Structure 1
Amino acid sequence: MNKNGDSLIQSRLYCCFKCRNVIAIQDDIVAKDFVAGKFRAFLFSHVANVMNGPAVDRTMITGRHKVSDVWCSDCLEKLGWKYEKVYAEAHSYKLGKTVLIRSKIDSAY
């Protein structure tokens, strides 16, 4: 512990697999069992160092949602998408959250 009594253990960082730009932290993972088409993914409450594309309606495995694609702000690699609007109440927990495809991010300590 540090002098303030806080733990010195830090949360794992996630970065772009291509350029190592830090994108998110482990503490912001909402769900680890997301599926993005044929890819596994994480759902994050917050991400950083990304650019969002325009919001578009897209039919996904779980139905229709308004999403914006998310790209790394350094190398412009597409990493996933952000839920801008959900049409079914059962999916309201996704609103404002970002899906990052696991194969597009890497952990860094």
Structure 2
Amino acid sequence: MGRLFVIDLEGLVYSCKYCQTHFAVTNDIISKSFHCKHGRAYLFDNVVNVTVGEKEHRVMITGWHTVADIFCVSCGSLVGWKYEIAYDKSQKYKEGKFILERFKVLGPYGGGYDMNQNEPMTGSDDEE
């Protein structure tokens, strides 16, 4: 395996729950209204330090999508997915965007989320 290059972001960042590798900045959040099997999920315009898995078709609440799971480049943890294709016209805005599952990442103030209650375990990502 070659040398691993990791991008360090500046400002308020979301990072890997397990190894603290940076993924995204708060300014790249498009929506905090998404859900996944572990609770809340956020839609981001840009995400770094992830590898993209195989594309697959999934039926989601909003219809059929082609998505690819995304994994932390440092520790390999599954942290969300990337929308490749949205088949419903009203969902096209998701194409090329990323979902980070809140249970699997730390917020900008070091806070995580409880999988069962969707409540902050420590800190809050809504703080100013």
Residues 23/67 of structure 1: CA separation in 2 closer, same or farther (3 Å cut) = same
Three-state SS of the structure 1 residue aligned to 2:19 is coil
Residues 75/38 of structure 1: CA separation in 2 closer, same or farther (3 Å cut) = closer
Asked whether 1:54 is paired with 2:28, we answer no
Counterpart of 1:88 in structure 2 is: 88
Three-state SS of the structure 1 residue aligned to 2:107 is strand
- Runs (4 or more) in structure 1 with deviation over 6 Å come to none
Q: How does 1:1-109 map to 2 (within 5 A)?
A: 11-108=11-108
Rg larger for: 1
Give the conservation status (yes or no) of the 8 Å contact 1:37–1:61: no
Give the conservation status (yes or no) of the 8 Å contact 1:15–1:23: yes
Choose between structure 1 and 2 for higher RCO, CA contacts under 8 A separated by at least 6 residues. 1
Q: Indicate the RMSD between aligned Cα atoms, in angstroms.
A: 1.3
Residues 38/15 of structure 1: CA separation in 2 closer, same or farther (3 Å cut) = closer
For structure 1, which segment, 99-108 or 22-31, has the greater mean C-alpha deviation from structure 2 after superposition?
Answer: 99-108
Give the conservation status (yes or no) of the 8 Å contact 2:38–2:101: no
Q: Distance in 2 between matches of 1:108 and 1:21?
A: 12
State the TM-score, normalized to the length of structure 2.
Answer: 0.74
For this pair of structures, how many residues does the alignment match?
100
Three-state SS of the structure 2 residue aligned to 1:27 is helix
Q: Distance in 1 between matches of 2:77 and 2:32?
A: 21
Per the TM alignment, residue 60 of structure 1 is displaced from its structure 2 partner at its CA by: 1.2
What percent of counterpart residues are identical? 40
CA deviations over 1:63-107 (Å, ceiling 9, x no partner): 110000000000000001000001001101101000000011102
For structure 1, which segment, 52-61 or 42-51, has the greater mean C-alpha deviation from structure 2 after superposition?
Answer: 52-61
Give the conservation status (yes or no) of the 8 Å contact 1:11–1:27: no
State the TM-score, normalized to the length of structure 1.
Answer: 0.86
Per the TM alignment, residue 11 of structure 1 is displaced from its structure 2 partner at its CA by: 3.7
